[in-house]
Every structure is written in structure tokens, then in C-alpha cells.
């Protein structure tokens, strides 16, 4: 059972961005992680903005800006596709 007060829901804008990510060539899935209320990607980040944090075994760790804070996401990728997927997402900013 998740910790009390932590949830795995996200805003409408973030869901739209996540669907765009899932549709990318080389993406095999997307896992929604924890939400952190009151945090921000920065003053210029709009709701739905995505920041790739790092490349890890099996995919990419990222966060997206929600209406109330940050949402962790894990992007499962095919082997070798991480760099091109990360560049595509960075280009959306």
C-alpha cells in the first residue's frame, strides 16, 4: 500500500504529454511514480512540461510539472533508443 498522502494521479495536461511520449518510436511503456506537491521545474515551466533526469537501465527517469507540483515518470524504452527519445522530448520545450 502506498504511503498516506502520496498518490499516482496527474493533471490533464500531463496525461496528454504522457500519451505523446508513449506514442514515440522506441517507447515500450510509461510508469507514473510519486507526486511531490509544492515543487517546481522552474519559473518558466508550464503544466505538462517534462524534464529528463537521467538514463537508467531499461529507460529514462523524468519528471513532469503538474498543477500542484512534480510527478515522477519512468519511460521504458527499447535498448539503444534512450538518447533519441530524450532528444525528442527535450525538443518539445
The domain segmentation of the chain, as residue ranges, is 12-91
Confidence grade of residue 5 (pLDDT, cut at 50, 70, 90)? very low
Please name which of 71, 87, 69, 54 lies closest in space to residue 18, comparing C-alpha atoms: 71
pLDDT given at position 63? 92
Task: Give the whole-angstrom CA distance, residue 27 versus residue 17.
Answer: 13
pTM recorded for the entire structure: 0.83
Task: Give the whole-angstrom CA distance, residue 76 versus residue 40.
Answer: 24
25-78 confidence digits (pLDDT tens) = 999 999 998 888 877 777 667 888 899 999 999 999 999 988 888 889 999 999
pLDDT given at position 68? 84
E-state strands within the chain: 27-37, 50-56, 59-65, 69-77
pLDDT given at position 41? 77
Amino acid at each position: 500500500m502506498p504511503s498516506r498522502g502520496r498518490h499516482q494521479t496527474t493533471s490533464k495536461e500531463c496525461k496528454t504529454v504522457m500519451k505523446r511520449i508513449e506514442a514515440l518510436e522506441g517507447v515500450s511503456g510509461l510508469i507514473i511514480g510519486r507526486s511531490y506537491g509544492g515543487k517546481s521545474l522552474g519559473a518558466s515551466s508550464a503544466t505538462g512540461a517534462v524534464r529528463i533526469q537521467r538514463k537508467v537501465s531499461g529507460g529514462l527517469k523524468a519528471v513532469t510539472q503538474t498543477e500542484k507540483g512534480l510527478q515522477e515518470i519512468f519511460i521504458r524504452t527499447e535498448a539503444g533508443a534512450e538518447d533519441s527519445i530524450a532528444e525528442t522530448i527535450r525538443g518539445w520545450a
